[in-house]
């Protein structure tokens, strides 16, 4: 609904008055601007005819100083008329003649310094009103700019630029010379020219965001491209303007690349989902192909749309690795099947079949670990195991016979324990070394092995038997010892009273009532578990007294220490 004329009339009158004031000011300033541009380009020197060349130098200097003093006196009370300025010009001319006369007889710099100071004073006097004009034009330009009159603002800024440029060229000694001011005004002019372009770029970006919110990707791409192109034009044509925003251009390019690559990203997500489902079904070859296609699409994004939020070298590497891993699962499954067949042959003591499979299995595991180091289906421990079994293949049957014939049940759950301590013969066959100090008989218990070496022995023997092998738990050892109340300690153990202080072959003494040999005496035995770096040793040794042995000695030993009175035995379970 239109406002009544009575209400709008005062507003219109106010606007008219404002425009009249601006026009009047512009007319006055324009007049001075015209005079300024028409004024001489250089300061006018006083004619030399009125200076008597025969006057002595001292008189010239004195007269110059008097003229300067008269000028400064008038200037101090605000009188700077043309006549007063002529006095300053004459003072300068007298100083110049004085210097020319004195140059041949003196090298004093003081006269020249005074001349420079006088010239600077003249430049300041002549440039000051021009500087005020510059300030007025700038003020009018800003007023016109605020009122939306870009043409008037441009005109005022250009007038200010011309005058300031004249000051810089003609009054270079004045305090009003300012290269910075010229640059600032030039920037303001360029900002006026570029502002409509910048505003159109902002509007295009806004429309692009609105299109994104509506999922109108085609429109969003078109508007972002328009916004980017306008911003690039600003950057190329007006590099010094305040609207040259490099970071904004890069951000919009990123948004644009992200939009353009969104279809590829959707395709990648679909491929990844399909690959995952195929893997669940065990279709690793097809899954590998899907991951490979996802890697190709990711590479397309990285190369075609490098600023996209979807661009990622890490993702490309990830999808490539997933493809390789899926492919490796095919070979891993084949190797696992071969390994299972080999393990069953070893466990069944079918050494002929195990030998036939062994070399092929080792070669395939080695190649797999080389080709697929990131795959965890076939580990480095698997490689160590098959290499070890391949190396030990000729002794497997002998080792199995030594162990299986000497196992007795202990505890519940089907676990069995070796009737004797591990002999040096068995240890040497499994470990290919013998750490024992007393090697007088291969049937002596192995001694001087560390706790960790005993654990390694258990691991390797487990590979050979195809079963779980471990040191006995303390409770299992105690159960195997049984009740010692009525036991004949000397009959079932080598101790300090009957051993001569040395170890003896295993099973040389009588078995206890449960069929186990040397649980007491001969060598102390490691049991399972470490506490604060120490291992537990049970049963005493050939150097332990019979009385102490009858109480089932328990001691702590350094897990890394070798002791010629410490050995071990093993337990076996499925």
Residue 281 lies in a domain: no
Helix H or strand E segment including 370: helix 351-371
Do residues 514 and 482 make contact, with C-beta atoms less than 8 angstroms apart? yes
pLDDT at 468 over 60: yes
535, 479: one domain: yes
Inside any domain, residue 84: no
Tell me, what's the pLDDT at 46? 42
- 92 occurs within a structural domain: no
Question: At residue 507, does pLDDT exceed 90?
Answer: yes
**Please, how many CA atoms are within 13 Å of residue 40, restricted to the half-sphere of its CB?**
5
Tokens at 254, concatenated: 């990123």
Query: Are residues 477 and 519 in contact, defined by beta-carbon separation less than 8 angstroms?
Result: yes
Number of domains in the chain: 3
Residues 427 and 357 in one domain: no
Burial of 155 (0-12, 13-18, 19+ CB in 10 A): middle
Looking at per-residue pLDDT, the higher value among 560 and 41 belongs to 560
Per-residue pLDDT of 164-188, as tens digits, reads 999 999 999 999 999 999 999 999 9
Sequence-ordered list of residues with C-beta below 8 angstroms from that of 236, at least 6 positions apart, any chain: none
- Count each helix (H run) and each strand (E run) in the chain, helices first: 19, 8
Look at residue 245 in the predicted model and tell me its pLDDT: 87
pLDDT in tens, 83-124: 999 999 999 999 999 988 876 556 678 899 999 999 999 999
SS3 526: strand
Strand 571-573 and strand 468-470: pairing? antiparallel
Rounded Cα distance, 524 and 540, in Å: 5
| Alpha-carbon gap, residue 474 to 477, rounded angstroms | 5
Please choose, from the candidates 319, 269, 328, 270, the residue with its C-alpha nearest in 3D space to the C-alpha of residue 296: 319
137, part of any domain: no
Considering 239, 260, 281, which residue would you say is the last residue of a domain? 260
On whether both 416 and 556 belong to a single domain, the answer is: yes
What is the C-alpha separation between 543 and 233, in angstroms, rounded?
A: 97
What's the whole-model pTM score? Answer: 0.57
336 and 252 in a single domain? The answer is: no
Proportion of the chain above pLDDT 70, given as a percent? 89
Q: Give the whole-angstrom CA distance, residue 385 versus residue 335.
A: 14
User: Do 490 and 380 lie in a common domain?
Assistant: no
In the prediction, which pLDDT does 37 show?
43
Judge contact between 487 and 550, C-beta under 8 A. yes
pLDDT tens for residues 291-314? Answer: 999 999 999 999 999 999 999 999
Q: Are 380 and 484 found together in one domain?
A: no
Short-list 446, 474, 428, 458, CA closest to 562: 446
Tokens of 309: 């939020």
Predicted confidence at residue 240, as pLDDT, reads 81
On whether the CB atoms of residues 297 and 338 are closer than 8 A, the answer is: no
Query: Quick one: average pLDDT of 336-351?
Result: 94
């Amino acid at each position: 609904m239109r406002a009544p004329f009575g209400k709008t009339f005062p507003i219109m009158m106010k606007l008219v008055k404002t425009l009249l004031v601006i026009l009047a000011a512009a007319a006055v300033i324009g007049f001075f601007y015209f005079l300024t541009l028409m004024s001489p380009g250089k300061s006018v020197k006083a004619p030399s005819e009125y200076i008597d060349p025969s006057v002595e130098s001292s008189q010239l200097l004195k007269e110059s100083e008097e003229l300067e003093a008269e000028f400064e006196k008038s200037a101090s009370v605000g009188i700077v008329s043309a006549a007063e300025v002529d006095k300053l010009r004459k003072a300068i001319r007298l100083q110049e003649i004085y210097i020319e006369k004195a140059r041949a007889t003196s090298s004093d710099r003081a006269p020249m310094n005074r001349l420079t100071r006088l010239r600077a004073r003249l430049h300041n006097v002549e440039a000051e009103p021009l500087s005020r004009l510059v300030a007025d034009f700038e003020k009018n330009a800003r007023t016109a700019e605020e009122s939306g009159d870009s043409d008037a603002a441009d005109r005022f800024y250009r007038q200010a630029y011309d005058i300031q440029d004249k000051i810089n060229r003609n009054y270079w000694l004045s305090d009003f010379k300012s290269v910075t001011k010229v640059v600032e005004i030039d920037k303001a002019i360029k900002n006026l020219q570029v502002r409509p372009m910048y505003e159109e770029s902002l509007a295009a970006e806004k429309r692009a965001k609105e299109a994104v919110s509506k999922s109108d990707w085609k429109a969003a791409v078109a508007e972002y491209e328009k916004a980017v192109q306008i911003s690039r034009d600003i950057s190329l044509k007006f590099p010094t303007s305040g609207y040259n925003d490099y970071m904004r251009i890069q951000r919009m390019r990123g948004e644009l690349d992200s939009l353009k690559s969104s279809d590829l990203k959707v395709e990648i997500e679909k491929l990844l989902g399909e690959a995952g489902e195929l893997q669940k079904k065990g279709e690793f070859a097809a899954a590998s192909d899907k991951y490979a296609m996802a890697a190709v699409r990711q590479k397309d994004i990285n190369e075609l749309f490098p600023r996209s939020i979807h661009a990622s070298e890490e993702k490309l590497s990830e999808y490539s690795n997933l493809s390789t891993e899926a492919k490796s699962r095919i070979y891993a499954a084949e190797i696992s099947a071969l390994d299972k067949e080999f393990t069953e042959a070893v466990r069944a003591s079918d050494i002929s079949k195990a030998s036939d499979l062994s070399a092929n299995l080792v070669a395939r595991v080695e190649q797999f670990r080389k080709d697929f180091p990131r795959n965890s289906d076939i580990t480095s421990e698997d490689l160590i195991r098959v290499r070890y079994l391949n190396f030990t293949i000729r002794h497997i049957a002998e080792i199995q016979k030594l162990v299986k014939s000497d196992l007795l049940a202990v505890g519940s759950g089907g676990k069995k324990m070796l009737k004797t301590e591990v002999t040096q013969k068995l240890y040497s066959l499994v470990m290919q070394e013998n750490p024992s100090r007393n090697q007088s008989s291969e049937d002596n218990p192995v001694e001087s092995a560390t706790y960790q070496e005993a654990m390694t022995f258990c691991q390797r023997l487990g590979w050979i038997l195809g079963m779980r092998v471990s040191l006995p738990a303390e409770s299992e050892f105690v159960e195997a010892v049984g009740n010692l109340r009525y036991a004949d300690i000397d009959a079932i153990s080598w101790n300090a009273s009957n051993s001569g202080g040395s170890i003896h072959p295993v099973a040389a003494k009588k078995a206890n009532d449960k069929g186990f040999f040397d649980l007491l005496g001969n060598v102390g035995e490691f049991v399972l578990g470490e506490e604060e770096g120490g291992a537990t040793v049970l049963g005493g040794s050939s150097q332990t007294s019979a009385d102490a042995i009858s109480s089932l000695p328990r001691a702590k030993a350094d897990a890394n220490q070798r002791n010629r009175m410490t050995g071990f035995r093993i337990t076996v379970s499925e």
